[in-house]
Structure 1
Amino acid sequence: MRLPVIAKVLGLLMMLFSLTMLPPLGISLLYDDGQWQRFANGLMMVMIGGLVVWLPFRRVSGDLRVRDGFLITTLFWVVLSVAGSIPFYLSNNAPYTYIDSLFEAVSGLTTTGATVITGIDSLPESILWYRQQLQWLGGMGIIVLAVAIMPMLGIGGMQLYRAEVPGPVKDNKLTPRIGETAKALWYIYVALTAVCAIAYRLAGMSWFDAIGHSFSTIAIGGFSTHDASIGYFDSALIEMIAVVFMVISGANFALHFMAFRQRSLRAYWQDSEFRFYFSILAAVSVVTVLVLIYTATLDPTKAISKGIFEVVSIATTTGFGAADFSQWPLMLPFMLFVLAFMGGCAGSTGGGLKVMRVLLIYRQGSREIKRLLHPNAVIPVKLGNRPVSDRVLQAVWGFFSVYMFMFVAMLIILLATGLDQVTAWTAVASAMNNLGPGLGEVAYHYGNINDVAKWVLCFAMLLGRLEVFTLLVLLTPAFWRR
């Protein structure tokens, strides 16, 4: 394990992250909301901390190994969560305690969207901007951005990229060089954010709200500048714009790259994962709308707009709200929360198990049923026309097993802290799937739950963002053996 290289990269990334406090500092000065000193102090603290870590190892160079990638990825998200909590803690507005500040920062960077803050509409503009910005930076992963400049520093970043990029297949690069791959991802990410912001502005949002919501939409985050979230605007047009960009952001960004390069949308429908993803969203949307109309919960027009919006928002793990879905007929909230376990596609900004894994589990289950009828038949599991190796299938089942084991373990811990069953299981599900809203006591915010539960949920959010194994592998004795 190359600790000097790890320290150099970590210090550099801390210094880069400190510069992200300049935009909210500027917003504070522009709106004169009295928060600029908090961001200035936070910037200096993180910058000095990064400099202290980086300076002794600034001349070190070399490639990151597999273990280095896992360690630095986990350290990076933990350290940046702590760094990101500083402006919240220094602010004279909510959140007031350190665990609340850390919870808000972790939720932002992991694009979970769970909040402990109430009275969001009355927060200073710089704090509102900072919350949205955290999600945007966390959406594609600040590490991927840093990978783009690592070749110039003499540090190979492929192991870091493999540890960070979500999904079961991590070795496929869009371009021959990993730095170019990271740049390509960010060009797409920035372009989608800009188009989304313009669409929101044309639909009636102010520029401040449009940019802020574009940050959290493309990041599949869910933070809003208003307590009522997207519902604040009471606009079917804004809701449908959000639906379009949530669906796009929940898809594999490699498909966006291919579609742009080929100047064709054919790449999307040729992809098995995207077809499955889109079909599930469409099918559940139809069921939800029909139930809302049949039970007279909403009139037909609102049932269509609110129903489709909430299905896409929860299924992609964005977590925006346009209606109080927790008050809908009982089967709908439960169905939507189960759907959130699927999440977005591999290589997207979404959370959850990922559509690819759910698709492979479904196809392997179908194969086992066929084997009961034809015991001697050789029936491969395929994606498109290509068979999937047993090694990948074993990895998917291993991931699913560990994911559910950790879910149950943290659920038991939350129940032990005194939370009721509905609150506990939806809070854990929401945190691990990087969703945001829950049911019960956490239907609107997480401010009223106990501090132990908040620490557990911070761990759950990081666990989900790092796809379980990246974090858990550090807890095994074998990782630390030479």
Structure 2
Amino acid sequence: MHFSVIFRVLGVLLMIFSLTLLPPFALSLWLNDDHHHAFLIAFAITFATGLGIWLPVHRARHDLQTRDGFLITALFWSVLGLFGSLPFYISAELDASFTDALFESISGLTTTGATVFTGLDFLPKSILYYRQQLQWLGGIGIIVIAVAILPMLGIGGMQLYRAETPGPVKDSKLTPRITETAKALFFMYVALTLLCALAYWLGGMSGFDAICHAFSTVAIGGFSTHDASIGFFNSPVIMAICTFFMFFSGINFALHFFGWREHSIRQYLKDPECRFYSAWILVGALITITYLYFTGTYGFFDSLMHGSFEFVSVLTTTGFGTADFSAWPTFLPFMLFLFAFMGGCGGSTAGGMKVMRVMLICKQGYREIKRLIHPSAIIPIKVGKKSVPDRVVEAVWGFFAVYIISFMVMFLLLLATGLDFVTSFSAVGASINNLGPGMGDVAAHYGNINDPAKWILCFAMLLGRLEVFTLLVLFTPMFWRR
């Protein structure tokens, strides 16, 4: 591995990240909320550290190898999570411990949306904006910026793109050059954010709330500027807008790019993963709405609005709320929670195992049933009209196995810290799926659980955001051998 280039890249990324502390700093100055010093100190520390890492190796010139890309991606999220916690830790009003500050930062950057803070309605707007901005950058923006800028510095970017991009197929490009791919993804991300903010504003949100919630909606993050989340606005129009953009942001951004370029929805209708994703949202929402209505939990209109909103929010791993779904009757809370394991489409900002993997697992299961009847038959697995190589199916099953084993180990560790069964189960699931809200003691926030549990959940959030293998590969001896 080329450690000089790795440190050079990391230094550049830290310096770029430090610049993102300037908008909340400027907002704090403008509003005179006395928090500008926290952002200024955090900016100085982050920029100076990045510069100190970059200067000794700034002349290093090597192409990144695949292993370098994995290490940089893991360092990218963990180091930025550490430096992103500085404003929370320095702020006197928040009075956050180091563990809480780090938890909030990693939760934001990984677009998990699990928070340890309460009383959001009374926090300074600069802090609230910074939380939302972390999610927006974590969703897709900052990695795309990095991939677009690094080639200009003589560093190949495709290794980073392959290591970070969600989904089982990681080598596809929207355009022939990786820089153009990064620009295309970033353009779609910004355009969708602006459209979402405009829709929220027209729907009745203030300009500040519209921008902040657009950041976390398109990033599939779930952070809000209010303790009651989207329920604070008590508006069916805003709920409908949020539901649409959560659903839309859970679709592969490559489809958005092709749909925009061709000015057609045919790409969405033809894509098997998008159809599978849409079908399950329709089925799950109908079950939720029907059960809420016939159990007398809500009237028909409220069942329609709350049921569809919460189901889309949980399945896409956004984590916004208008009601406490964990208090819904009988099996509904667990049904919704289990759907979060599927998550959104590959190539989206959603968490979970991704729809493509779940679809391939279902197809493989069905193939095994048919093989019991016809043992000698050659039965290919197809996605659309294309056959999927057995190597890809094996990789998906391997991912599924490691995902579940990782979940089980962290679940047992949380039980060992003293948390109850439901809290431990839902906290790990919500973290590794980058969902946010759970059940039990973490239904509203994570502030009351113990510090060892928070550290375990920080690892779970990173594991989910980096899709397990990208992080776990660093713990194998083979990775570090020449």
Q: Give the alignment's TM-score, normalised by structure 1.
A: 0.99
Give the letter for the 1:313 counterpart: S
**1:246-285 correspondence runs (5 A):** 246-285=246-285
Pairing 1:316–2:324 present: no
What do the CA deviations read for 1:284-306 (whole angstroms, capped 9, x no partner)? 00000000000000010100011
Whether the aligned pair in 2 keeps the contact of 1:345 and 1:354 (CA below 8 Å) is yes
CA distance in 1, matches of 2:117, 2:94: 6
Q: Which residue of 1 aligns with 2:414?
A: 414
Q: Which residue of 1 aligns with 2:120?
A: 120
CA distance in 1, matches of 2:330, 2:11: 49
Pairing 1:194–2:186 present: no
Pairing 1:132–2:132 present: yes
CA distance in 2, matches of 1:193, 1:408: 36
Distance 1:95 1:323, change over 3 A: farther
Whether the aligned pair in 1 keeps the contact of 2:141 and 2:186 (CA below 8 Å) is no
Distance 1:70 1:95, change over 3 A: farther
Whether the aligned pair in 2 keeps the contact of 1:114 and 1:436 (CA below 8 Å) is yes
What is the count of residue pairs matched by the alignment? 482
What do the CA deviations read for 1:42-78 (whole angstroms, capped 9, x no partner)? 0000000000001111122221101000000001111
Q: Which residue of 1 aligns with 2:100?
A: 100
Structure 2: 5+ residue stretches without partners: none
Whether the aligned pair in 2 keeps the contact of 1:95 and 1:101 (CA below 8 Å) is no
CA distance in 1, matches of 2:337, 2:273: 20
Distance 1:28 1:9, change over 3 A: same
Q: Which residue of 2 aligns with 1:215?
A: 215
CA distance in 2, matches of 1:144, 1:111: 15
CA distance in 1, matches of 2:55, 2:78: 21
Q: Which residue of 1 aligns with 2:171?
A: 171
Give the letter for the 2:343 counterpart: G
Deviation, structure 1 residue 326: 1.2
Structure 2 counterpart SS, 1:148: helix
CA distance in 1, matches of 2:317, 2:391: 28
Distance 1:435 1:122, change over 3 A: same
Structure 2 counterpart SS, 1:149: helix
Q: Which residue of 2 aligns with 1:461?
A: 461
Q: Which residue of 1 aligns with 2:424?
A: 424
Give the letter for the 1:126 counterpart: S
What do the CA deviations read for 1:380-416 (whole angstroms, capped 9, x no partner)? 0000000000000000000000000000000000000
CA distance in 2, matches of 1:426, 1:93: 30
Pairing 1:162–2:140 present: no
Q: Which residue of 1 aligns with 2:289?
A: 289
CA distance in 2, matches of 1:141, 1:347: 13
Deviation, structure 1 residue 207: 0.3
The two structures, once aligned, show a CA RMSD in angstroms of: 0.7
Q: Which residue of 2 aligns with 1:379?
A: 379
Q: Which residue of 2 aligns with 1:389?
A: 389
Pairing 1:401–2:401 present: yes
Q: Which residue of 1 aligns with 2:476?
A: 476
Deviation, structure 1 residue 145: 1.4
Distance 1:95 1:74, change over 3 A: farther
Give the letter for the 2:6 counterpart: I
Whether the aligned pair in 2 keeps the contact of 1:6 and 1:68 (CA below 8 Å) is yes
Whether the aligned pair in 1 keeps the contact of 2:148 and 2:180 (CA below 8 Å) is yes
Whether the aligned pair in 2 keeps the contact of 1:61 and 1:154 (CA below 8 Å) is yes
CA distance in 2, matches of 1:144, 1:366: 37
Deviation, structure 1 residue 141: 5.1
Deviation, structure 1 residue 94: 2.5
What do the CA deviations read for 1:117-169 (whole angstroms, capped 9, x no partner)? 01011100000000000000000152221110122101011111100111100
Structure 1: 5+ residue stretches without partners: none
Pairing 1:16–2:16 present: yes
CA distance in 1, matches of 2:104, 2:141: 17
What do the CA deviations read for 1:317-357 (whole angstroms, capped 9, x no partner)? 00000111111112110000100000010000000000000
Whether the aligned pair in 2 keeps the contact of 1:144 and 1:164 (CA below 8 Å) is no
Runs of 4+ in 1 over 6 A off after TM superposition: none
Give the letter for the 2:264 counterpart: S
Deviation, structure 1 residue 95: 5.3
Structure 1 counterpart SS, 2:85: helix
Whether the aligned pair in 2 keeps the contact of 1:61 and 1:153 (CA below 8 Å) is no
**1:15-34 correspondence runs (5 A):** 15-34=15-34
Deviation, structure 1 residue 26: 1.0
CA distance in 2, matches of 1:215, 1:143: 16
